[in-house]
Structure 1
Amino acid sequence: MTPHRTQPPPPPQAFSPEERAAMRRALALARRGLGRTSPNPVVGAVILDRGGREAGHGWHQQAGGAHAEIHALRAAGPRAAGGTAVVTLEPCSRQGRTGPCTRALLQAGIRHVVYAVADPTLAGEGAERLREAGLDVRAGLLAERAAEDNHAWLTAALHHRPHVTLKLATTLDGRIAARDGTSRWITGPPARRDTHLLRTRVDAVAVGSATVLADDPRLTARDPAGRTRRRQPVRIVFDRRLRTPPTCRLATDTAAPTWIVTTHAPPRRAPRTAPGACELITTEAGPGFLPAALTELHRRGIRSLLVEGGATLAGALLADHLVDRLVWYSAPRLLGADGAPAVRGLDVPTCAQAPGFRVVGARRIGEDVRVVLEPQPKESP
C-alpha cells in the first residue's frame, strides 16, 4: 500500500482561491519533472506577491539542480517579499547538494507558506523552522493529488526500498502465454506503447531469469516510432541461479545499464558479458532474497521499480507483500486452462486469505483495458 494512504489527513485549514489556483499550477509544473529528478521527488512551486498575484514559478528539473522553490524565487525577484510560497512538498531544511529551501524563503522575505504533502524524511522539521521564524505555514492543500504524483518517492522514503509496480499483460482468463509458449503479442500496440511510457517514468525495469530465457527482452523505453529514447531506466534481472545467457540482448547491448541480482551462493559460472554491459549484484539467499535485493537497489539510488515478468517473480513479490501498485492490461481473448498463468507460487488456501486490491483507475487502451490497483490492507481482527 502506498504511504500517502496510511498517513492521517491534515486538519482542515483555510486556503484562498488564489492559493488553490497556485497549487494547481504548482502540481502541473511538478509533473514536468517526472522521470528526471530521481532519487529526488518531483516538486513544483509558485510565488504569489502581497496581492495574491503570481510573481514567479518553477519546478525541480533534475537531481543535483536547484529545487523548485529556488527557481520560483529567482523568477519572482523582489516581488516575493511579503508574499506566499505555494509548494507541492514541504520545503527542505537540510543542506544537501543544494542549500536548504527554508533559508532561501526566509531570505526572500516570504511571509506565508502553503504546501501540499509533508516530506517524511524531514519529520516536520522544514515546517517547524519556518514557523519558528514567524511565518504562517499551512499544509494539506490538494494533498491527495500531490501524493499521487510522488507516490513512488514517498514509498521509498518511508520504507527504504523502491516503490514496486507490477505490470501484468494477460488474457481475460489471466494467461500470459499459450500452451506452445508463445506470448507475443497478447495486448495490442496501444497497450505496448503505454508500457514504454511507464518505463520512462521509473528508475529501473526488472524481470526474472525465466523471462530472459523465454523472450530475450530488450527492456528499453522506446517512442511510438520504435526509436530508443535518450533516457533509459536501469535494466534488472532477478537471477538467483545465474542463468542469464551471456549472449542475451540484456548482456550484449549497451542501450542501458544492466544489473543481475543474484545470491551469495557460490555460482557455478558467471555470465560472460560484454565489457561494461552487466553488473553483478549479490545479496542474501533464501526467503530474504527479494527484500534484501530491494534494500540494495534502494542503496544504489533506485526509488521506483517496474517489474514486467515473469509469473514466479510476480508471485514471490506478492507473497512477500512487496507490490505497491499493480498495472494490469487485460486483452479481450482467451487461452484456456493450458495457457501459462500470470502468477505462480502464491499460496492462497481460502478466499478469506486472498490478497485484496482497490481499483485506483481503469480505462480502455485500444482494444485492451488497463486497470491500476493498489493492495488493500487487511482489516484488524
Structure 2
Amino acid sequence: MERAARMALRGHGQAEPNPMVGCVILDSSGNFVAEGYHHRCGGAHAEVDALRHAGARARNGTAIVTLEPCNHHGRTGPCSQALLNAGVARVAYGCCDPNPKAAGGGDMLRAAGVDAFHLPCAAAERVTAPFLYRVRTGLPWVIAKWAQSADGRIATKPGEPRWISGPESRAMVHRERGRVDAILTGMGTVLTDDPLLTVREARASRTPVRVVWDPRLSIGVDRALVRTARETPTVVACTPEALAARSVHANTLREYGVELRAVDGLRALLASLRTQCATLPAGDRTGASTVLVEAGAGLVRSLHAEGLINDVWVFTAPHTIGDAGPRSMAPMSAAALAGLPCVWHGTRGVDAVEVRRVGG
C-alpha cells in the first residue's frame, strides 16, 4: 500500500480536482506485476493504468489501491468494473470513497464475488487527505510555505539580502507553484517584497491564479501583481465595504486586468476560490483544489487561527539573522511545529525542509 501511495503522488498537479490515486497489481502468487497512477484529470484512473501494464498476469491476482475503486460512469468507466473484467480475485483499498457519486465500488466487487476489503494505511490516508478534505468541507487544500533562519526569523534586516533559503529550496517552491491552482499572499508581502508569484525555471502543469488578501483595497497600481495582471490571472479580494467605498480605485484595477472579489473574511475567500479560480492549460475555468500561501506571519497566523491551513512547508537555513523587527518572527515556533505530524522531511542544498500536517 505504501508503494501505491508513492505512485499516487506522481499525479500531483495533474490529477486534481480528482484524487491522487496509486495502484499496485500482484499476481496469483503474490509477486509484483505492475503499478500505475492517475496521471491527469479526465485520463485513465490508477487501476486502469496498472491493469494495462499487468495484462493477463492480473487474473486471479490482487489489486492494492489507495482509494476505494470508483463505481460510476464519469469521463471514464467505473474502475470496479475494470477490475472485475480483468479477473482480479482480491482488492485492498486504503481509504473509503466519501464521494456519493463515485462510492460503492467495494460493495459492487464483493457482490460479484471478489474479496474486496478496506486495508487502512497511514500513507494512503495522507495522499488522499486533500481530496477527502475538499469533499467534506467544500474548501481547497491549503499549504502555507515559509523560509526561516536557524533562529526562527522569516525576514532579514534592512540592507541585507532578502533571500533566506538557498536556490535548491526556491526551485522546490517553484515546482509546487506549477502544481497548485492559486497562490495567496497578503498586503504586507505585496508592500515589502513586491512579488510576481509566477512559476519560473520549472515546468508548470497549471497556471496558478495570484490572489491578494487586501481587506481595505489599498493595493497600488505600481505593484508588480497589478502591472502584470493581463499576463497572469490576478485576484484582489477585499471586504464588501471597501469595494463600495473605493469604487473608483476598483475600476482602475479592473482596467489593469485585476479581478476583484468582495468577501467577508478568509474562509469566504477560500470558499469562493473553490467555486471558481484556476485557469488550466486547456483554458477551462474551474475551482481551486490546492492553494499555496506565500505570505508574512500575520496572514499565516490568521489562517491558522481559523483552522484553514492543512500543511506547512518550512525551509530552515543554517544561518541566524537576529532581531530584524516584530514582523520577522516565524508564524509558528519550533515547539509548535514539532508538535505537528511530520509528513516528510529532507534537505534541499544546505536547508532543512519539513512538511507538517496541521489539519485535514
Q: Same fold (TM over 0.5)?
A: yes
Moved more, 114-123 or 35-44: 114-123
- For 2:106 and 2:269, the matched residues in 1 are separated by 34
Name the TM-score, length of structure 1 as normaliser: 0.77
Give the structure 1 partner of residue 80 of structure 2. 102
- Establish whether residue 270 from structure 1 lines up as the match of residue 250 from structure 2: yes
- Establish whether residue 246 from structure 1 lines up as the match of residue 225 from structure 2: no
Give the structure 2 partner of residue 340 of structure 1. 327
Q: Alpha carbon RMSD of aligned pairs, Å?
A: 3.3
Give the structure 2 partner of residue 358 of structure 1. 340
Q: How far did 1:62 drift? A: 0.8
- For 1:160 and 1:191, the matched residues in 2 are separated by 31
Name the TM-score, length of structure 2 as normaliser: 0.81
Q: Residue 257 of structure 1: which of 227, 233, 238 is its match?
A: 233
| Local SS of the residue matching 1:65 | coil
Change (3 A) 1:356 1:160: farther
- For 2:34 and 2:337, the matched residues in 1 are separated by 47
Give the structure 1 partner of residue 263 of structure 2. 283
Moved more, 268-277 or 236-245: 268-277
Unpaired stretches in structure 2, ≥5 consecutive residues: 277-286
- Establish whether residue 216 from structure 1 lines up as the match of residue 175 from structure 2: no
Moved more, 164-173 or 176-185: 176-185
Unpaired stretches in structure 1, ≥5 consecutive residues: 1-22, 347-353
- For 1:261 and 1:113, the matched residues in 2 are separated by 46
Q: Residue 302 of structure 2: which of 316, 329, 353 is its match?
A: 316
Change (3 A) 1:86 1:376: closer
Q: How far did 1:217 drift? A: 0.8
Change (3 A) 1:338 1:263: closer
Moved more, 169-178 or 132-141: 169-178
- For 1:276 and 1:64, the matched residues in 2 are separated by 34
Verify the 8 A CA contact 1:121 1:157 in the aligned structure 2. yes
- For 1:338 and 1:215, the matched residues in 2 are separated by 16
Counting matched residue pairs gives 341
Alignment of 1:11-22 (within 5 A): none
The amino acid across from 1:129 in the alignment is: M
Change (3 A) 1:74 1:171: closer
- Establish whether residue 134 from structure 1 lines up as the match of residue 113 from structure 2: yes
- For 2:307 and 2:31, the matched residues in 1 are separated by 47
Verify the 8 A CA contact 1:246 1:271 in the aligned structure 2. no
- For 2:224 and 2:7, the matched residues in 1 are separated by 37
**Identity among equivalent pairs (%):** 39
Verify the 8 A CA contact 1:359 1:371 in the aligned structure 2. no
Give the structure 2 partner of residue 18 of structure 1. none
Verify the 8 A CA contact 1:191 1:329 in the aligned structure 2. yes
- For 2:166 and 2:87, the matched residues in 1 are separated by 55
Query: Structure 1, residues 154-189: CA drift from partner, whole Å, max 9, x if none?
Result: 322332211222112233443333454867112222
Change (3 A) 1:338 1:24: closer
- For 1:367 and 1:56, the matched residues in 2 are separated by 37
The amino acid across from 1:65 in the alignment is: G
| Local SS of the residue matching 1:63 | coil
Change (3 A) 1:217 1:112: same
